[in-house]
Amino acid sequence: MEKKARANPELRRSVTPWGSFSWGYSDVGADIFVGLGLVLAAAAGASNVAFLFAGVVYVCIGLAYTELAATYPVAGGGQYFVMRGLGDIFGFIAGWAVLLDFTIDVTLFAWTSVDYSSQLLPSLTNSVHPWVHFVAVFALVAGLCLLNVIGVRESTAFNGVVSALDVLSESLILCLGFLFAFKPALLIHAMQFNWPSPYQLMLGTSLAIISFVGLESISQAAQETQRPASVIPRTSVSLILTILIFALAYSNLALGLQPWHPITDASGHHLAFWQIFTNNSDNQGKAVALLAAQVPYYGALAALYVPVLGAILLLISSNSGVFGSSRIAYAMSSSNLLPALFQGVHRRFRTPAVSIIFFSSIAVIELIFAAIPGLFPAAASFYSRFFRGENGLDFLADLYAFGAATSYSFVFLGLIGLRLTDPLSPRKFKIPLNVGMRFRGERVEFPIVAVIGFIGIFSILLFTLRTHVLGRIFGPSWLLLGLLFYLAYRRYRRLPVLQSVQRDWRNDQTEILRRSGELELMDEYLANLKASDQRRASEGSGV
């Protein structure tokens, strides 16, 4: 028994409710630091509407992840849920899309971490010193890769402190901003006279979803939380609402903000605050710091510390990309969706070094692709001709939105699939609005919110494909390459190529509940199985 435990070491379940909240917050909470500027630049006077649409979809996704993570608290997250609900090939596609997101996450957040730092260190400004910016981002990505290989990762306690500071700081910025700098007339004016074209609104909405990416962290926290079925729903609902409130509040405040220091353009005309983001990627990369600096009085202090806090939070999020991609690849490899190579553990450091180095290398390739036009002006004309000039932040945001919309779409389908095929697993938390029905002889509850969420996220996926030139090319190419690789690998291993490998989900689920300390739920599950088997046996014998 002891030998078996050593061969399959389990994660220690020591994350507290606050630890679980801060884990998610340090991942999803950082997104508004990136998304705000991009959305304001794209959707102008309808930025708050773009955030509203994406926010409603995000609430549905958050509730779906909460139910799934509380019911199946295992490594793998979205990929595991989809594989279990829809089969191996769809599990691979969802997991591969999540991996795209994690690699982009590494680069995008390291990039914006440097952008926030440039508020205090102007020599890091991308448009002025592109090489310095590039080297700084590259050094961060390489550094995080190295730290993860030798096994150092941010502690839950550190996450907790940074999250608490950030929640406090953002609440202060919003409270003081709404009290002293918010003019409702400016908001109404921006919405009335700067309403974007449908194309720009679609672009803004597809970018707004990147402010809500990172819900995989809910399932990552679930596997390290004691009694996750009870703890995860409590912390997740708080997390979902907090992030939604910040996103909606920031977008409304930014549109109705009366700047503390007047902002003028080159010809001396006064600009509204949100207009400083139009066609200015330097500003887009540090939107929250610029907004905080415009809050009367408090802005003088905020201008000094918000860039630092933002840079740290973004760096933690970037690290979660390095860590998360290796863990997802490890889980996919354990399920025979990726080669065993990705389970390769470093002899000395006992970390999944192969996965870490492989996906960090992809992050570096993405960084190079995003940075090329800034580094070599001769390449800019090529990008203008073929990619409508998209580069830098735009390129990274494009792929981030594509990966998120794809994986979330599959998670909704996975949730519906699991409700139909696994009705016997006890669900301590269920997303609201369910319709009772019978499916294959069992009573199931069909989730209406999952259908609404799927329609919402699928429309965002269509918006992304319609409005993002690079996302349209590189996103599907990533999926197609992965799929070809998957098919070749399954054929080589003589595993079912389009079908799923046979698994004993009943035993798996019992073991999952036992390991997570949910013994009451395990007993309930076993009782459900017994009752179902007896009913089927009696129906089969015609009694």
Residues that bind another protein (CB under 8 A): 48-49, 51-52, 55-56, 184, 187-188, 191-192, 234, 237-238, 241-242, 244-245, 248-249, 251-252
Q: What does residue 182 show for φ and ψ, rounded to 5 degrees? A: -90, 125
Whole-number minimum distance, CB 397 to another protein, in Å? 21
Whole-number minimum distance, CB 98 to another protein, in Å? 27
How many CB atoms within 10 Å of residue 16? 15
Q: What does residue 227 show for φ and ψ, rounded to 5 degrees? A: 50, 60
If the CB atoms of residues 238 and 459 are measured against another protein, the closer one turns out to be: 238
Tokens describing residue 266: 């080159």
If the CB atoms of residues 247 and 315 are measured against another protein, the closer one turns out to be: 247
If the CB atoms of residues 191 and 314 are measured against another protein, the closer one turns out to be: 191
If the CB atoms of residues 82 and 249 are measured against another protein, the closer one turns out to be: 249
Whole-number minimum distance, CB 173 to another protein, in Å? 15
If the CB atoms of residues 114 and 176 are measured against another protein, the closer one turns out to be: 176
Tokens describing residue 20: 């679980």
Whole-number minimum distance, CB 508 to another protein, in Å? 31
Whole-number minimum distance, CB 305 to another protein, in Å? 22
Tokens describing residue 373: 């036009």
If the CB atoms of residues 48 and 217 are measured against another protein, the closer one turns out to be: 48
Rounded CA-CA distance 77/214 in Å is 11
Whole-number minimum distance, CB 405 to another protein, in Å? 21
Q: What is the DSSP string of 300-313?
A: HHHHHHHHHHHHHH
List, in sequence order, the alpha helices (H) in 8-87: 17-28, 31-43, 47-71, 78-86
If the CB atoms of residues 44 and 322 are measured against another protein, the closer one turns out to be: 44
Whole-number minimum distance, CB 143 to another protein, in Å? 36
Task: Produce one character per residue of 123-142: b if its CB has 16 or more CB atoms within 10 Å, e if not.
Answer: ebbbeebbebbbebbbebbe
Whole-number minimum distance, CB 188 to another protein, in Å? 6
If the CB atoms of residues 51 and 359 are measured against another protein, the closer one turns out to be: 51
Output the CA torsion 457→458→461→467 (10° steps): -110
Burial of 492 (0-12, 13-18, 19+ CB in 10 A): exposed
Find all residues with CB under 8 Å of 333, minimum gap 6, and list them: 339, 340, 341, 342, 343, 355
Nearest-CA neighbor of 370 among 393, 350, 354? Answer: 393
If the CB atoms of residues 108 and 431 are measured against another protein, the closer one turns out to be: 431
If the CB atoms of residues 255 and 393 are measured against another protein, the closer one turns out to be: 255
Three-point CA angle 21, 97, 509, nearest 5°: 60
Q: Count of alpha carbons within 13 Å of 248, Cβ hemisphere only?
A: 14
**Bridge partners for 434 per DSSP:** 447
Whole-number minimum distance, CB 76 to another protein, in Å? 28
**Bridge partners for 438 per DSSP:** 443
Q: Is 134 left (phi over 0), alpha (psi -120 to 50) or beta?
A: alpha
Whole-number minimum distance, CB 52 to another protein, in Å? 5
- For the chain, the residue count is 543
Pairing of strands 442-447, 434-439: antiparallel
Rounded CA-CA distance 421/442 in Å is 9
If the CB atoms of residues 58 and 330 are measured against another protein, the closer one turns out to be: 58
Q: Catalogue the long-range contacts made by 487-490 (C-beta closer than 8 Å, 24 or more residues apart).
A: 489/338, 489/339, 490/336
Q: What does residue 434 show for φ and ψ, rounded to 5 degrees? A: -120, 145
Whole-number minimum distance, CB 469 to another protein, in Å? 28
Whole-number minimum distance, CB 238 to another protein, in Å? 6
Give first-to-last CA distance, the chain, whole Å: 43
If the CB atoms of residues 112 and 251 are measured against another protein, the closer one turns out to be: 251
If the CB atoms of residues 249 and 367 are measured against another protein, the closer one turns out to be: 249
Tokens 């408090």 sit at which residue?
298
Whole-number minimum distance, CB 216 to another protein, in Å? 22
Rounded CA-CA distance 273/259 in Å is 6
**Bridge partners for 182 per DSSP:** 257
